[in-house]
Amino acid sequence: MISRQYALTFLAILSACGGGAAGSTTGPSAGPPPMTATVNATPDIAFNPSPVQIVSGGTITFAFGSVAHNVYFDAVSGAPADIPGNNAGTSVSRTFASPGTYGYSCHIHPGMRGSIVVGATTTGDTPMGGGY
């Protein structure tokens, strides 16, 4: 597994930044996006927040409230499995293994859309050439 490498990388980045509150979502956009994030599917017929950023290999948890929603990802390479049906009062997680932008929509409510931006696992670490 690569979790050990992840941990070391994160430690290095955190100490390089210094002083910043780990996991803060209100600070300037320095450092990598988080490993996990929660998207609320709200009774207001919206996904919030959107877009939301995580690192490659990170997990999004969709938190469904009192009004039923579902999540169908746009047909792009690397998109995870859809969350079909009527989901209310539950949470469902999906993992994003590849960098990219993943749009999705609720098929119950036309126009209810969101997007997830999956960044590279590390920023500027060991450039291998032919990168982005």
Q: Does 108 bind Cu ion (CB under 5 A)?
A: yes
Judged by CB, which is closer to Cu ion: 79, or 83?
83
Q: Does 109 bind Cu ion (CB under 5 A)?
A: yes
Q: Does 83 bind Cu ion (CB under 5 A)?
A: no
Judged by CB, which is closer to Cu ion: 35, or 108?
108
- Closest approach, Cβ 54 to Cu ion, in A, equals 22
Beta strands in the chain (DSSP E): 36-42, 46-48, 52-55, 58-64, 69-73, 83-87, 90-96, 100-105, 113-119
Half-sphere exposure of residue 27, counting CA atoms within 13 Å on the CB side?
A: 13
Half-sphere exposure of residue 110, counting CA atoms within 13 Å on the CB side?
A: 0
Q: Does 113 bind Cu ion (CB under 5 A)?
A: no
Q: Interface with Cu ion by CB under 5 A: which range of 5-13, 22-30, 54-62, 100-108?
A: 100-108
- CB distance 71 to 33 below 8 Å: no
CA-based nearest residue to 89, from 42, 35, 45, 122: 42
Judged by CB, which is closer to Cu ion: 9, or 70?
70
Contacts to Cu ion by CB under 5 A: 69, 106, 108-109, 112
